[in-house]
Each structure stands twice: as structure tokens, then as C-alpha cells.
Amino acid sequence: MPSHQAPAREETGAQPRAGAPAAGTARPSRARPAWLAGALVVLAASMVAGLLGGAADISPWQVVLQAADWLPFVHVDSGLTPVEQGLLFELRLPRVIVAAVVGGLLAMAGAGYQGVFRNPLADPYLLGAAAGAGLTTTVAIVLLSVPGNAIPVAAFAGALGGVFLAYALGHSAGRGGGTATLVLAGVAVTSFLTAVQTFIQQFKVEELQRVYAWILGDIGGGWEQAVMVLPYGAVSAAVLLLHGRMLDVLSVGDEEAASLGLRAGRVRLVVLMAASLATAAAVASSGLIGFVGIVVPHVVRRLAGGSYRIVLPLSLIGGAAFLVLADLVARTVLAPAELPIGVVTMFVGAPFFVAVLRMTRRTLT
């Protein structure tokens, strides 16, 4: 398990000022109901845009009428043909739902990892969680022919293994596992696990195209994909949301937490497992979609403050809106062709990560 001390300061070795917040925390959260309401409005707008956008040209008003017709006890004639109704209900609607669930889980998992490690650069993609889940998912599909409903279990084991391996490597390389050390360890673990995954893929060359599409992110699996990710996502999200206040207490230090009767080790273990389950569910259902877990929580902290009681729910909602919009871009920018959604998130996330890394180094030096 992670050490109970704050990450060591990089380069200068300076210690935090007395009473200063831990790394990754920000000014106190404010206007929580207003931020939540605003985030829900943004999510609703992004989901409507996801239904409207695409290669097929469908009237926005007809889409609105058809959406109303799906409501219980409401019967409206949208004027859409059966083919257009099938396009909306069988393709676009489940795709929007999967994007929202996966994006919310990845963003919330990133916030959870950042709270556990007290490290602003912790992220499912950078910590090795996504790569570990990807490796065990590939083994389950290519070598073991595991049934689809059991794949998230294999991915969960891989996600936990990847995180523990990255932390152990970072902790052994530097006392306390500082920000840069932990990130470098995560990159090393991710590279190694990805290499092993690529090697395993060679056993079934005929599956390479499907696996390659999965690696770059695939949320077009319809309702079956949505049904697979929802139960695991609901459990992990509920656990993380219930631990927001505890993560706030941990952010001020383990001694202070212990004086308040909080068992820091148990809280970290539960949050780590819940975040890994969220990552595993997202990866098993939709592939490796990077940088959502670092972009969204940092934007939330900048806007609404650093309390995890607001960071976690806003990350869930913001991550959902972010990935729905990323999928809309992936479907429309080269229409009728389609970009892998992972390419879109990398275009956004890579420069954002560089900016966050620069800000973090200025804070720690």
C-alpha cells in the first residue's frame, strides 16, 4: 500500500509550509450546488449534440421529437423513417451513453488516484492502470477466450497490478515517490505492459485489426457495450463519491486524519480499488482512452476548488461531457470517415499534460 507520508519535494527537497495543503489540493470549493447544476447543463447539451451530430443528416427538431417519444407515456410523431429511428436508437444513443459513462469513470478514477497518492499527475493512463487492464483483457480475449461478462474482472486484476507495480517502482527509486518519480515509473510500467500485450497479440494475427481498434478506443459497440460497463461503473462511482470527505481529511496529513479517527490505510485501499474498478470497466468495454483522468480533474480544481466532495462528482459529470464531445469530433471531423476517439483525447491531453507538468514543477521548486 502507499506510504502514509506526502510525496517528497522534487529537486530542492523543500518541505511544505506548516498548515499548507498537500500537493494537488487547491483553494476551498465554493458554490457547490451552482457548479453541479452548471455541469449537468453542460452534460445534457453535449449529449444532445452527440445525438444530433454525425455523417447522416437528420433534422435537429426531428431528433428532439424522437427523444421525447422515447419518454414513458409520451407519444409524438417525429416524422423520422424507421431507418433513421434505428440510426438514433441503435447507434447514436448507446454510443452517447457509453461515451458518457466511460468518460465519467476515467475522470473520477483520475481524481481518486490523485487523492490516494496526493500527486496531481496521477492518472489511470500514466500510472499503468489502463495498460495493466489492457494486458489482462488481451490475454482474456486472445488466449483464454473468456466470456464477455467476465472480461471486466480480468481487467480489474490488471489495473490493480499495474498501479501497484508503478507505485512500488517509483517508491523504490525515490523516498516517498515524488511527482516526477511516480510519473516516470508509470511510464516505464505502461511501456513494458504494452510491449507484453503487443507480443501476445501476435498469437492471433487475424485479431490484430480488432485489437488495434480497441487499443485506440472504441465506443461503438451498441447497447451490449453499455450493459457491460454500467454495473461496474455504478459500483465504483458510488464508492468514490462516498469517500470524498475522507480524501479531504487525508489531504491535510495522516496524523491529523488519525486524530479524527480516520483509518488512512483502509481509506486508501478502498479508494484505490474503486478507482481501479472504474478504470477496468472503462478499458474492458472501450479500450485505452488516454488523458481523460488528468485533464478533467485539473480543470475542475481550477474552476471549483480542491475539495474532493466537489472534485469527484464534477469530474464524473465533466468527464462524461468531455468524452461525448470528443466522440462527436471523432465522428464528424473526417465524416463520413471516423477517427478513433483515443486519437482525439491524445490531441487534447498531451499538450495539457505538459502544461500541468510545468505548473507542478513550479509549485514544488
Please give the full DSSP string across 18-75, using - where no structure is assigned. Answer: TTPPPTT--SPP--HHHHHHHHHHHHHHHHHHHHH-SSS---HHHHHHHHHHTSTT--
Q: d(Cα 309, Cα 192) in Å, to the nearest integer? A: 35
* 131 contacts 279 by C-beta, under 8 angstroms: no
Q: What is the pLDDT of residue 148?
A: 65
The overall average pLDDT reported for the chain is 80
C-alpha cell at 365: 521548486
- Contact (Cβ atoms closer than 8 angstroms) between residue 306 and residue 24: yes
CB atoms within 10 A of CB 300: 27
pLDDT value for 22: 43
Q: Which three cell numbers stand for residue 37?
A: 447544476
Distance from C-alpha of 331 to C-alpha of 18, rounded to nearest angstrom: 50
- The CATH code of the domain at 32-364 is 1.10.3470.10
Cα–Cα distances (Å) from 155 to 48, 133, 136, 285, in that order, read 31, 4, 6, 10
Q: Please give the pLDDT value at position 220.
A: 77
- For the chain, domain boundaries: 32-364
Contacts of 135 (CB under 8 A, 6+ apart): 158, 162, 193, 194, 196, 197, 200
Residues in the chain predicted with pLDDT less than 70, given as ranges, are: 1-31, 148-149, 173-180, 205-211, 213-214, 360-365
pLDDT number for residue 234: 93
pLDDT of residue 338: 82
d(C-alpha 148, C-alpha 301), whole Å: 36
Q: What's the whole-model pTM score?
A: 0.81
pLDDT at residue 8, rounded to an integer? 38
Please, are residues 27 and 305 in contact by the beta-carbon 8 Å criterion? Answer: yes
d(CA 159, CA 107): 15
Q: Provide the pLDDT for residue 52.
A: 85
- On the CB side of 363, CA atoms within 13 Å amount to 22
**CA 322 to CA 183: how far, in whole Å?**
24
Tens digits of residue pLDDT in 267-303? 888 998 899 889 888 888 888 888 899 899 999 998 8
pLDDT of residue 360: 65
pLDDT of residue 208: 66
85-105 pLDDT, tens digit each: 888 888 889 999 999 999 999
pLDDT single digits (tens) 39-80: 999 999 999 899 888 777 788 888 888 878 878 888 888 888
Do the Cβ atoms of 294 and 352 come closer than 8 Å? Answer: yes
Which pLDDT score is estimated for 7?
A: 40
For 74, half-sphere exposure in the C-beta direction (CA atoms, 13 angstrom radius) is 11
> Among candidates 110, 135, 136, which has minimal Cα distance to 124?
110
| pLDDT number for residue 210 | 66
